[in-house]
Amino acid sequence: MGNFQQRIIGGKDVIPYSWPWIVNIAFDNFLCGGTIVDDETIISAAHCCDGFQRRAEKVKLTISDHFFHQKDPHEHTFTAETLIIHPDYSRRQIKNDICIIKVPHMKLKTKPLAAPACLPPQGEHPPAGTKCWVAGWGQTEAGSVAEQLQEVDLDIMSDEQCGNTMNGQYLVKDAMFCAGSNGGGKDACQGDSGGPMICGIVPEGVKPTGHGEIRQERFEIAN
């Protein structure tokens, strides 16, 4: 998904604070999502972090957030300390699109509405047909930023089905998997990059890109 423009399409308002691991990340004037891993680590997409490695102080991360423009009574905002992009990241090939963000002093035990995500075993991918969810504050089908955190369900697709639907435009590599909606009308878009894809109770991938095509079957590729 090469244009990195993402919005939650066909989604709905999230029950407030029901995604305790999701992070609202501001990189200067653009928005991405992220996932809390532990007291000082957040993961996001490398294409979000790219260019900010030497100015991490410009990256603001908000946890326990729900409303985009309205300050939540429970939200906490931190400044990134270090951004680490996967050494084999390729923007052109959408390969290894993973970034680790180090954030000291989050002290999650004192923040009851924030919690780290449970990660899947290394190398494990959800099988085709698995129901998953993505969430974010990115643009909706109306083209505006969502006022409240949005979520949408997507199905894991086989590599063959993904490649056929996308006309072979993108290759699903070993460290990737594909998700989408067979009937179309569901997707993620600009502002949702880097956020978690949850399958069951664990995040299975980092959401890199989306097409925003609401009338066609277009699938997502996650790292």
Range of the domain at 63: 22-110
Co-location of 129 and 90 in the same domain: no
Co-location of 40 and 74 in the same domain: yes
For this structure, is 97 an active site residue?
Answer: yes
For this structure, is 193 an active site residue?
Answer: yes
Say how far apart CA 101 and CA 42 lie, in whole Å.
5
Residue 1 lies in a domain: no
Nearest to 134 by CA among 108, 157, 152: 152
Confidence of residue 19 (pLDDT cuts 50, 70, 90): very high
How many Cβ atoms are within 10 Å of 26's Cβ, its own excluded?
14
Which DSSP helix (H) or strand (E) runs through 48?
helix 46-49
Side-chain half-sphere of 192: how many Cα atoms within 13 Å?
A: 37
Single out the catalytic residue among 64, 187, 193, 211. 193
Whether the pLDDT of residue 216 is over 50: the answer is: no
Single out the catalytic residue among 44, 64, 66, 97. 97
Answer with the one of 79, 110, 141 that is the final residue of a domain.
Answer: 110
CB-based burial, 126-165: b 16+ in 10 Å, e otherwise? bebebebbbbbbbbbeeeebbeebbbbebbbbeeebbbeb
Confidence of residue 40 (pLDDT cuts 50, 70, 90): very high
Single out the catalytic residue among 47, 65, 66, 187. 47
Query: Residue 54: its pLDDT value, please?
Result: 94
Residue 48 lies in a domain: yes
Q: Residue 117 to residues 1, 22, 54, 201: CA-CA distances in angstroms?
A: 25, 9, 27, 8
For this structure, is 39 an active site residue?
Answer: no
Residues 54-103 pLDDT 10s: 999 999 999 999 998 888 899 999 999 999 999 999 888 778 899 999 99
Cα of first residue to Cα of last residue in the chain, in angstroms, is 12
Beta bridge partners of 153: 133
Co-location of 189 and 153 in the same domain: yes
Give strand ranges (E) for 95-186: 99-102, 131-136, 150-157, 177-180
Structural domain total, the chain: 2
Q: What is the pTM of this model?
A: 0.81
